């Protein structure tokens, strides 16, 4: 029986960063990666690809990442804790207020890819714990 390969959805407006994340994760062989900059496509991928974790940029072209996060959690509540916010504006007051209400991991850009890998391992352990208990 083939082991399940976790799917990671990368929603990132910056093309170069999106491709870099996609390349690093896919080359590890540990993850299937689907990536987009479009919030509507990302929302559709929640159903068609059933990602196990999401890396979500806050600064998207047609919708805020914060609004997309809320829509994602509404559609797939089990993803709570497995959606990491990507931002370089960690100290912004509006973000801190939003995080007070919507507790989720934040990966500060620019980040080393080992930080992403470490967070994904933690997210996959959380998923396994959800499944078993």
- Over residues 119-131, the pLDDT tens digits come to 999 999 988 887 7
Positions in the chain short of pLDDT 50: none
- Over residues 82-99, the pLDDT tens digits come to 999 998 887 788 888 888
pTM for this entry: 0.93
What is the structure's pLDDT at 15? 96
Spatial separation of the C-alpha atoms in residues 3 and 30, rounded to whole Å: 10
Do residues 52 and 129 lie in contact, with contact meaning Cβ atoms separated by under 8 Å?
Answer: no
Domains of the chain: 7-123 (3.40.50.2300)
What is the structure's pLDDT at 103? 83
What is the structure's pLDDT at 90? 73
């Amino acid at each position: 029986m083939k082991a399940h390969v976790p799917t990671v959805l990368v929603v990132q407006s910056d093309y170069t960063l999106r491709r870099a994340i996609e390349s690093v994760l896919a080359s590890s062989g540990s993850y299937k990666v689907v990536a987009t900059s479009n919030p509507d496509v990302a929302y559709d991928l929640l159903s068609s690809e059933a990602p196990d974790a999401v890396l979500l940029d806050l600064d998207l072209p047609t919708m805020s990442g914060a609004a997309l996060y809320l829509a994602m959690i509404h559609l797939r509540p089990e993803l709570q804790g497995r959606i990491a916010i990507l931002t370089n504006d960690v100290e912004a007051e509006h973000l801190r207020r939003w995080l007070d209400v919507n507790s989720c991991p934040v990966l500060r850009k620019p980040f080393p890819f080992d930080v992403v890998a470490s967070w994904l391992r933690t997210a996959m352990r959380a998923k396994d714990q959800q499944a078993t208990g």
